[in-house]
Amino acid sequence: MAGSTSTMVEAPRIDVADFKGRLAAGEKATVLDVRGAAAWDSSNEKIPGAVRTTADQLRVDPSWPKSQLTVVY
């Protein structure tokens, strides 16, 4: 598209070991599980307390604490 400027901003990433370490240290986190139905159904790994949603229905909930980590996977 001529004359258009678009900037893609990549979301910060955290690896599993860092995330587990933060949780073990007592850091609170909001966890959003946006895996597709097939991945969800076939997985033995689910994070307790994670909010289950789909990528197309993902919306920021104003009640989520802004002072804590939010992880989307």
Residue 3 lies in a domain: no
* pLDDT number for residue 42: 92
73 residues of the chain, pLDDT tens digit each: 455 555 667 878 999 999 999 999 999 999 999 998 898 889 988 888 898 888 888 888 888 888 898 998 8
**Could you tell me where the DSSP H helices lie in the chain?**
16-24, 37-42
- Specify the DSSP element, H or E, that contains 62: none
58's CB contacts (< 8 A; 6+ apart) are 32, 34, 72
Looking at the domain assignment, is residue 6 inside a domain? Answer: no
pLDDT recorded at residue 60 = 82
Total count of domains within the chain:
1
Residue 51's domain comprises: 16-72
Residue 60 lies in a domain: yes
pTM for the model: 0.70
Q: Is residue 4 part of a domain?
A: no
Does any domain span residue 1? no
Q: What is the pLDDT of residue 59?
A: 83
CB 51 within 8 A of CB 58: no
